[in-house]
Structure 1
Amino acid sequence: MNMLAHRQMPPTPQDAAIARLSGQVLAGYARQKRPLTLRVRDAEQEKPIELPAGAVSLLMDILDAMAAGRGVTIIPEDAELTTVQAADMLNVSRTFLINLLDTGVIPHRKVGTHRRIRMEDLMAYKARDDRDRETVLDELAREAQEQDMGYRHA
């Protein structure tokens, strides 16, 4: 696969605590949505580095996930995934994913006999699926309320 990806397994409790504290300090700066200059200290040297606003936002997302004890995987938008990788990201079987590809629900291309799915196409499908699921759940809750089945609108 020709992509640069990084995967960080779930953090240790100590790393989660560090991420939580770092995220709290960084949060106020991240809300400004501007580049941020940090000073990095290593041994006796201190060096400023500038982070673009998008990197600061991404760093906040990473710290939030780590503070919650979750692992993180970073994959570029233009990456192409195998069917196994894409199925794992959607938390579905490879067979189910291949059906989505073969019916045209998710675009893909073939490299020889192998299917490749663009990350952005996979995320677009996931966003549509999440919206559709939310719509169905809202409708079910509305019907349950109308039939006085004990569900209350929050």
Structure 2
Amino acid sequence: MYSLELANSKELEVCYEIIEEGRAFQKEQGFVQWTEAYPNRDTIEADIEKKKGYVIKAQQEILGYMCIDFDGEPAYDDIKGAWRSDAPYAVVHRMAFSKKARGKGIADIAFGLIDELCINKGVKYNRVDTDFPNKRMQHILKKNGYVYCGTIVFQNGDKLAYDKLL
């Protein structure tokens, strides 16, 4: 049984370790989306303090980390393309999974749990972005009902923008 829970300050080190594993995995895939500067430990600590950092767990073991932000993303205001809705939305940023969770469909499970969380909070619209070379995430997004909407600039680079109506 999997759960999606707010991360707490005691889990910061595990969450950041998962981000580091994600950064290394990106390099193994032949691209750099996350630099040493972003996301850094302070980014994850701020997510947790602002109640935007979430963990996915199985039997109380943390398998993944992500930021789910219900306050919107200013970078999404300027899109080359068009979002499919102007409704309030949740943004998913900084999604990463531990090495031991890879290849087990955990990203699909996470997106299902994110949908449930959003619906429970009365938010029926999600947005997300990813880098052009991140083919794995693009595939996961499409498989989970996200639709390509255009490009945005985030962290000083063009990103592919996707949304999902719940």
> Which TM bucket (shorter chain)?
under 0.3
Normalising by the residue count of structure 1, what TM-score does the alignment of the two structures yield? 0.22
Structure with greater strand share of residues: 2
Larger radius of gyration: 1
Structure with greater helix share of residues: 1
Normalising by the residue count of structure 2, what TM-score does the alignment of the two structures yield? 0.21
